[in-house]
A and B are shown apart, each in its own frame.
Chain A
Amino acid sequence: MTKYWITGIAVTCALVAASIMAVDSTAKSLPRSTETAQIVQAANSFLASLDAKQRESVLYAFDNEQQRARWSNLPTGFVPRGGISLRQMTPAQRSAAMNLLAVALSKRGYEKVQQIMEGDEVNKKTDTGPGPGNHGNRPPRGNGGPPPDGANQPPRGGPGGLSGDMFGKDLYYISFLGTPSEQTPWMLQFGGHHLGLNITIDGGQGILTPTLTGAQPALYTEGGRTVRPLGPESDKGLALLNSLDDGEKKQAVLSYELADLVLGPGQDGKKIQPEGLKATSMTEKQRAMMLDVISEWAGIINDDAAAVRMAQLKADINQTWFAWSGPTTGTIGQNIRAYYRIQGPHLVIEYSPQTLGGDPALHVHTMYRDPTNDYGKGAIKQ
């Protein structure tokens, strides 16, 4: 009697499992794979809009490590990117590219990217000649290039005038590593001056590390409205610092200057010793504030992928550190002139104002990494 029951249960379970797997593979009703399906669809629409030569230019092999690391804070005139730029696209292709970004990113992530690009347009306009209102763009010091490589590098420069070559919202490049797929891993890269988005899609997973954001001018007006592409990063970081008591501040504020990103472009997968104030010494409210700061980077990617990432970072929170270097005073609504770093077992965030363009409040570089999973290398099974 019992034997029959147990056999019956086992058979039923097997049938249920089999039927659901069958339904699953056809219907794709999981919310996470829906997101991937939409990104793949948008990517394919974009690729379909290109001519054969353009398509060849944007597609790289998934194991092309040179292209993977070919991103930078520098203008594209200094460090040429792979793929093709918005400037090289027809209006229809351009809107297909931007639609892909809108699908792959969250609403606020997409807005941030647009504001960074728009900022570079402001940069271009103020840079066409000397005159009032010039924010003072300088060619950069060398830090920040991708690892040196020999052949297979896109040609430098291009037609057009000086600032036309250097800056502008159409000098952002799109490229793919591997083929857009719902099952096998592939990568979408989008970047230019002050932007390096590296999005790895592996089945239902979406990984944004490593990603660089930056802005110059980091504060500008557009249509009478003040725009700060990286304003929330500045405000939330400052609010977290302000929430610390004197003892906590003493631990969080480092006694030395940090002139630049420690783990900028080219520094993939490096784990440095964390410093500053550990979250175990924070209050519950301060920990929540720190998570909110983190979300400014982790939340650039689409909401589903961001939720998974935030759950991981929340589980890590007690092993997460907050360090500050530079002026401890600032005003919410204006950009800080200080460097800060948030670091945990799966996270490095750096916010680094640059003295290069004059006022460090107007020129910012930031970095977002997971040293254990840059480019999804920890998650993707080899």
Chain B
Amino acid sequence: MKWKAIALILLSLTGVASAHRLDEYLQATLIAVEKDHVDVSMRLIPGIAVSSAVIASIDANGDGVLSPQERWDYAQRVLNELVMSIDGKKLDAKLKSVDFPQIQEMRDGLGEIHIEYTAELPAGGPDRKLILENNNQRQRAVYLVNALAPSDPGISIVAQKRNPVQSTYELDYTQASGPPGSLPASWWTPNLFQLGIRHIAEGTDHLLFLLVLLLPAPLLVVGSRWRGTTGVRSSLLHILGIVTAFTLGHSITLVLAAFGVVHLPSRPIEVLIAVSILVSAVHALRPIFPGREAGIAAFFGLIHGLAFASTLSELGLGRWERLAGILAFNLGIETMQLAVVAATLPSLILMNRTRAYPWLRVCGALFAGVASVGWIVERVLGAQSSVDVVVNKLAHHSVWIAGGLFLLSLVCWAFENAGPALSNDLPVTS
């Protein structure tokens, strides 16, 4: 009684007129629609000024104790005042559980009565309409009614309609008649797909690694140097092999890391990624693993995948979201990678037929080498360098650079083919 007394003192002190909420009875309902039934949970909270009346109506024999039978009967009375229907057919609500607070908590206006009930849903068409009307305590009640996001992927909510006080609630939803277990409608997460694209587009280190690895792809090794060229067909196959191997590598570790099988701190991985660029830059200058580019791409792919995973893990996705997320994210990465390869491949193959190619190869390799050393220093020492700034500036103009490269290769190619006498005089070597 103590708190009620305090409350009433406060009330008298501060003017009752505006405090109408105290004499309200909050009734908050959450509805979970399933395939063949609906589960409803209610929280009933009588305000301090109405709690005595509510308690009196529960305590049928007036002995000041709320017996289990009296609690169950009260919940049943609340249920009897509900009208629930599906597609116009009346539903039979069955009481599942009743949970009461201490009687003193209720007197204080703090007690929450929890009632759970369920109703079977007859089979129906794809478009369904559930109506719930709560007539309990219409004069005092304040209602809140909401549907929970459906756990069944075959069910999707179209609309929730209510009268202004929420005593009448209508839920329109669709129910797929197909077999359960099909992919949820939300498996496709366009945001993560875009994130994958952005990760490659903005993560210039991943791109640089791949591009530099592609540089010597159309070439053959003679002795310990790059000499001559392979045919277009074999270049293409070679490049396809490298890209596929890289994808395979990073997909494996992405999945492993995303599910917590492997867990590595991000900094050594970032350094190793820079090392991978250095290695492929050296390789583009002098062949150190000729013919094994695919293997190297797969190996470093494993490392790059760990970095992708840390991006995903920052998003804090759940287990299934994560699987769908990996798929979308990886597809984004692949899409961007293919776009970059498609944008540079014609230039590489075209220019490879000219004497300008060694220049491109050496300049590209040197640029990547310098950038990677800068990154290694930056990432090991945690020091600031201008590598990131310069490379990102260049990457912002990647479309122009790719276009310029293509024009350049066209010019070189046209120049050499226009003067066959000239080019026949000189052997094509580095």
Residues of A within 8 A of B (CB): 1-2, 5-6, 9-10, 12-13, 16-17, 20-21, 24, 29-30, 74, 77-79, 127, 129-130, 134, 136-143, 145, 148, 157, 162, 255-260, 262, 266, 270-275, 308, 311-312, 315-316, 318-319, 345-346, 354-359, 370, 372-373, 378-379, 381
Contact = CB atoms under 8 A, between A and B. Distances in A.
Interface string B219-244: 00000100000000000000000000
Contacts of B47: 141-142
A24 B382 CA distance: 11
B253 to A, nearest CB: 13
A348 B102 CA distance: 31
B164 A138 contact: no
B112 A266 contact: yes
A24 B268 contact: yes
Interface string B257-276: 00010001111100110010
A17 B272 contact: yes
A256 B316 contact: no
B142 A270 contact: no
22 contacts: A29-B267, A29-B382, A30-B265, A129-B13, A138-B14, A138-B19, A139-B6, A139-B11, A142-B48, A148-B112, A255-B161, A256-B166, A262-B146, A270-B148, A272-B146, A272-B147, A272-B148, A273-B148, A311-B315, A312-B316, A356-B21, A378-B318
A81 to B, nearest CB: 14
A66 B297 CA distance: 52
The B interface, classified by DSSP as helix, strand, loop or mixed, is mixed
Contacts of A355: 18, 20-21
A271 B148 contact: yes
B314 A308 contact: yes
Given A130-B13, A259-B26, A21 B265 contact: yes
Contacts of A316: 191
B144 A259 contact: yes
Q: How many residues of B sit at the interface, in one of the four size bands?
A: 35 or more
A358 B11 CA distance: 12
Interface string B123-158: 000000000000000000010101111100000010
B192 interface: yes
A165 B47 CA distance: 21
Interface string B308-333: 00000011111001000000000000
A316 B315 CA distance: 9
A162 B9 contact: yes
Interface stretch (B103-111, B404-412, B418-426): B103-111
B341 interface: no
Given A136-B18, A270-B148, A273-B157, A256 B26 contact: no
Nearest to A318: B191
A373 B144 contact: no
Given A316-B191, A372-B318, A262 B28 contact: yes
Contacts of B275: 12-13, 16
B316 A74 contact: no
B271 A20 contact: yes
Nearest to B142: A259
Contact of B267 (A30, A311, A359): A30
Contacts of B296: 6, 9
B369 interface: no
Interface in B135-193: 142, 144, 146-150, 157, 160-166, 190-192
Contact of A143 (B19, B26, B260, B290): B26
A260 B163 CA distance: 16
Contacts of B164: 255-257
Given A74-B110, A142-B109, A378-B318, A257 B26 contact: no
Contacts of B201: none
Contacts of A139: 3, 6-7, 10-11, 22, 48, 109
B316 A141 contact: no
A379 B316 contact: yes
Contacts of A256: 162-166
B18 A358 contact: yes
A319 B110 contact: no
B203 interface: no
A273 B21 contact: no
Contacts of A379: 316
B192 A138 contact: no
B279 interface: yes
Contacts of B18: 136, 355, 357-359
A130 B295 CA distance: 82
B358 interface: no
A162 B267 CA distance: 56
A260 B28 CA distance: 10
Contacts of B30: 270, 272
A142 B192 contact: no
B110 A79 contact: yes
Contacts of B150: 273
Contacts of B192: 315
B289 interface: yes
A381 B15 CA distance: 52
Contacts of B264: 17, 21
A346 B316 contact: yes
B101 interface: yes
A354 B15 CA distance: 17
A34 B318 CA distance: 27
Nearest to B288: A5
Given A24-B268, A141-B22, A378-B318, A134 B147 contact: no
A312 B315 contact: yes
B260 A16 contact: no
Nearest to A30: B267
Given A2-B292, A78-B3, A141 B101 contact: no
A255 B162 contact: yes
A9 to B, nearest CB: 6
Contacts of B380: 20
A148 B148 CA distance: 23
Contacts of B106: 142
Contacts of B112: 142-143, 145, 148, 266
